[in-house]
Amino acid sequence: FDLPLALAKKYNGFASRKVVDLFEKYARTVFERYRDKVKYWFTFNEHNLYLMQPGLLGVTLDGKNDEALRFQAVHHTFIAHAKATKALHEIIPDGKRAGMIAYNTVYPYSCKPEDVLATVKVKELTIDFYFDVFVNGEYPSYITSELDRKGINVFEEGDVQLLKENTVDFLSISYYQSKTVKAVEESDSILAVLDGITQNPHLPATEWDWTIDPIGLRVALKDLYARYQMPILISENGYGAKEELNENNTVEDDYRIDYLRRHIEAMGEAI
What are the DSSP E strand ranges found in 103-222? 105-108, 170-174, 178-181, 197-198
| Cβ atoms of 100 and 42 closer than 8 Å | yes
CA atoms of 16 and 14, how far apart (whole Å) = 5
Question: Mind giving me the DSSP string for 51-76?
Answer: TT-GGGGTPPP-STTHHHHHHHHHHH
From the list 46, 156, 157, 265, the catalytic residue is 46
From the list 207, 236, 243, 244, the catalytic residue is 236
Buried b (16+ CB within 10 A) or exposed e, 176-200: bbbbbbbbeeeeeebbebbebbeeb
Q: Mark whether 236 is an active-site residue.
A: yes
Give the residue numbers annotated as catalytic, written as ranges.
46, 236
